[in-house]
Amino acid sequence: MLYNEFKFKKRYFNCGSVGIIPRSSIKKIHKNMEDESSNPTGKKICERLISVYYDVKKEMGTFLNVNYDNLAYVQSTNVGIGTILASFHWNDGDEVIIGNNEYIDGILPFLALQKKFGVKIRVVNSSNLINEINSVMNDKVKMVFVSHIECSTGVEHDIIRLCREVENRENIKIMIDGAQAVGQIDLIGLENVDFYIFPFHKWMLGPMGTGMVYIGDRQIEQLCPITLSSIGGEITTDNDIVLKSKAMRIENSSFNFSMYSAILNNLNLMKGIEIQRIYQTIEELAEYFAQKAVKLKGIEEGTVYQNNGMVFIYFPKEIDVEYLRKKLEESECICRTFREKNCLRFCFHIYNSKEDIDVLCSALERVIGAVTNKERTNINSNIC
């Protein structure tokens, strides 16, 4: 079944950026969009869209072990963060605490808060996250924002422990970026956080422009979104508004639910394979690669880091990792770089195999050898 779902020539190890959409899900999107084009406002089409709207939420509620009424659709993690932040009142001098390894699209909405409202951002070292957060905690802090799994390091944070041990918990909101976690690891404890935001286009192998946010019970009634639509609220006869009592109050009214039909199909595929088996396969493939990578010529001791389905290889500063990535792509092996950390990141999923990894290792050793020889030649030329 997997062979028929994922047919592509290159060996792809970058679902942490964008995953590969199963072929049956692509067919679902095409079929639904063709149907919609025949009569976009027809009764059958509208009924199907409503069905997809609720079916995806119910399935994701089960998948995440949360009440589906606490889930809202957003187009991406970035949009979800911005929508939530714009739904609260902020004052000059309010503070937020952010980990130092957050992705740029997670940071930018907070920088906008700083620019627009004078909100102060405190950046803490995420290697000792809870202690660092508590060391700068004060009465002005309104929110803590961190990633469940950091995209540039693979470090996984214990969100249950975070919610239990962070000081002043009753007065602050905890927002989690779940982009690298949903679909990669078993999710436990989401009900402890206030906001958990994630896209479907990474480890969930869905199309771009699809995502969700989980909103805790205590926060739903506090949200008054500036982007309010007819899904989330109603206008009264005296021109006031009444907000829905569910997470849907933050939703935009113009979603492409043909794309979400792919999510429904993906969830059914995952259930057919068994989600725990998927998690196990992801981790086993990453472990297999990490064990082989440490033995490759040109890989220095202590430079390979594996966590769950992600493997990072760090290089000396004189090695251009972007050049390495391009040369690997020429060998039809796709990965991602983080130039600020001078590393390559490899992400593994159910469409990868040990045979793929063997080819990757051969290509990686060859490319590193060529780059290392090039560096030696440059050094010798400079000496001469």
**Rounded distance between C-alpha atoms, residue 369 and residue 214, angstroms:** 46
pTM attached to this predicted model: 0.94
The pairing of beta strand 233-235 with beta strand 11-12: unpaired
Note the pLDDT of residue 255.
Answer: 80
Q: Which residue from 297, 258, 316, 340 is spatially nearest to 34, judged by alpha carbons?
A: 258
Fold topology of 39-271: Aspartate Aminotransferase; domain 2 (3.40.640)
Q: Which residue from 129, 136, 131, 139 is spatially nearest to 94, judged by alpha carbons?
A: 139
| 3-class SS shares of the chain: helix, strand, coil, % to 5 | 45, 15, 35
Domain residue spans in the chain? 39-271, 275-383
Q: How confident is the model at residue 376 (pLDDT cuts 50, 70, 90)?
A: very low
Residue 40 predicted with pLDDT over 90:
no
Residue 165 predicted with pLDDT over 70:
yes
Residue 25 predicted with pLDDT over 50:
yes
What φ, ψ does residue 132 adopt, rounded to 5°?
Answer: -65, -40
Query: Per-residue pLDDT tens for 251-280?
Result: 988 888 889 999 999 999 999 999 999 999
Q: How confident is the model at residue 382 (pLDDT cuts 50, 70, 90)?
A: very low
The residue-averaged pLDDT of 308-316 equals 97
Structure token pair of residue 120: 């102060």
Which CB contacts under 8 angstroms, 24+ apart, belong to 168-173?
Answer: 168/137, 168/139, 168/141, 171/139, 172/141, 172/142, 172/143, 172/144, 173/142, 173/143, 173/144, 173/219
User: Domain 275-383 is in which class?
Assistant: alpha beta
Q: How confident is the model at residue 378 (pLDDT cuts 50, 70, 90)?
A: very low
The pairing of beta strand 241-243 with beta strand 304-307: unpaired
Asked if domains 39-271 and 275-383 share a fold, the reply is no
How far from 72 is each of 67, 134, 181, CA to CA, in Å?
A: 11, 30, 18
The residue-averaged pLDDT of 199-212 equals 97
Note the pLDDT of residue 379.
Answer: 35
DSSP 8-state assignment for residue 306? E
Q: What is the mean pLDDT of the chain?
A: 93
The residue-averaged pLDDT of 296-314 equals 95
